[in-house]
A and B are shown apart, each in its own frame.
Chain A
Amino acid sequence: MVSARSNPSSPVVGPAIDAVAVKVLISGGFGVGKTTLVSAVSEIVPLRTEELITELSDGVDDVSGIEDKTTTTVAMDFGRITINPELVLYLFGTPGQDRFWFMWDELARGALGAIVLVDTRRLDACFAAIDYFERRELPFVVGVNCFDGTQLYDVDEIRAALAIDSFIPVILCDARERESTKELLVKLMAHVMATARLAESVPAQQARSSAAT
């Protein structure tokens, strides 16, 4: 196979082909600021990718039924941070509609973790995302988007309202601000690593306890 680059002298924009590509998910209800958050740190203007779902109608072979067969488009906005030519991080906003679970599965596969963005005026909009990540055991942190720079509730009240475990970080943030979004990502990665270390130590503990009995 001839694998020489067509133009090796041109500047490489973005990752190298042998780069490791990782992703994190940005989740939360419609209008909570997912794409705003992505654009705050992405090196590219957020792109939109679409997936088609054809929902079957009754009588597939009946031509007159075609107008009842709906093709739904699920859109995801995403951004990119090239950490270095060997490592590139993608930030994917999950589709706002909770019913597109199959798309969530593709997004979550191989993801390092997730940020669940929360608007305290519409707290219930994020419940589906939290349930999903808990069920999939994907590490996540909660970012509470402070839209007008203030927040009526403190972190403990929000944590209680969301009924999440005490080890899951809840962070007040402003999704428009680059520094605030960076802090969210740093806290997410720290949480991802802490969760991974815990998972590593659990089998060792189990082995010790089973050896003791």
Chain B
Amino acid sequence: MASRDEVWFDDAAGPLVRPYALTRGRTRENQYGLDLVTLVVSVQPEVHERVVEPEYADVLWVCEHPLSIAEVAAKIDLPLCVVKVMLADLIERNYVIYRTGWQPVRNAPDMDTMQKVLDGIRSL
């Protein structure tokens, strides 16, 4: 058993709420294929924030405007895997809509998109 006279303070004790507690132990989302650059936006966060846990409400407000999942995770300072599970929950309840990042098809590279990226960088 752990020693009872051992006391942890501040950061040594870990986060106040263990990240995986927010997701009830779930660490992987694979229902929607969410990745770093999947764009998400919340739908009526002012309505839905009232019916979700506070951490989920934070997610809703952070993606009030379209943002990548990487940005959502960075702004609410939670690990990516946790944020993905939370977003999948919110997508399932129709509180968040999403758009998957561009996925190349190996035999048909999207030259049009690549050209637009190239032109865009040139004109920065």
Given the contacts A64-B2, A200-B109, A90 and B36 also touching, CB distance less than 8 Å: yes
Contacts of A193 in B (CB 8 A): 111, 114-115, 118
A212 touches B (CB below 8 Å) = no
- Distance A100 CA – B71 CA, assembled complex (angstroms): 21
Which single member of B74, B94, B113 contacts A48 (CB below 8 Å)? B74
**Interface residue ranges of A81-110 to B (CB < 8 Å):** 81, 83-84, 87-90, 92, 106-107, 109-110
Which single member of B80, B104, B113 contacts A49 (CB below 8 Å)? B80
**Chain A, interface SS category:** mixed
Count A interface residues, CB 8 Å. Answer: 60
Interface size class on chain B is 35 or more
Is A22 in contact with B101, judged by CB distance below 8 angstroms? yes
Bits for A13-55, please: 1 = Cβ < 8 Å to B, else 0: 1111111111100000000000000000100000111111000
- Distance A196 CA – B104 CA, assembled complex (angstroms): 10
B94 nearest CB neighbor, chain A only: A1
**Chain B, interface SS category:** mixed
Is A22 in contact with B43, judged by CB distance below 8 angstroms? no
**Interface residue ranges of A151-182 to B (CB < 8 Å):** 178, 182
A186 touches B (CB below 8 Å) = yes
Give the tally of cross-chain contacts (CB within 8 A): 155
A89 nearest CB neighbor, chain B only: B117
Least Cβ–Cβ distance between B106 and chain A, in angstroms: 8
Contacts of B42 in A (CB 8 A): 6
Is B35 in contact with A192, judged by CB distance below 8 angstroms? no
B38 nearest CB neighbor, chain A only: A21
- Distance A32 CA – B113 CA, assembled complex (angstroms): 30
- Distance A151 CA – B58 CA, assembled complex (angstroms): 48
**Interface residue ranges of A127-148 to B (CB < 8 Å):** none
Least Cβ–Cβ distance between B39 and chain A, in angstroms: 5
Contact surface of B with A, Cβ cutoff 8 Å: 1-2, 19, 35-46, 64-68, 70-71, 73-75, 79-82, 94, 97, 99, 101-104, 106-107, 109, 111, 113-118, 120-122, 124
Leading 5 A-B pairs by shortest Cβ distance: A83-B120, A196-B109, A47-B74, A189-B118, A21-B37
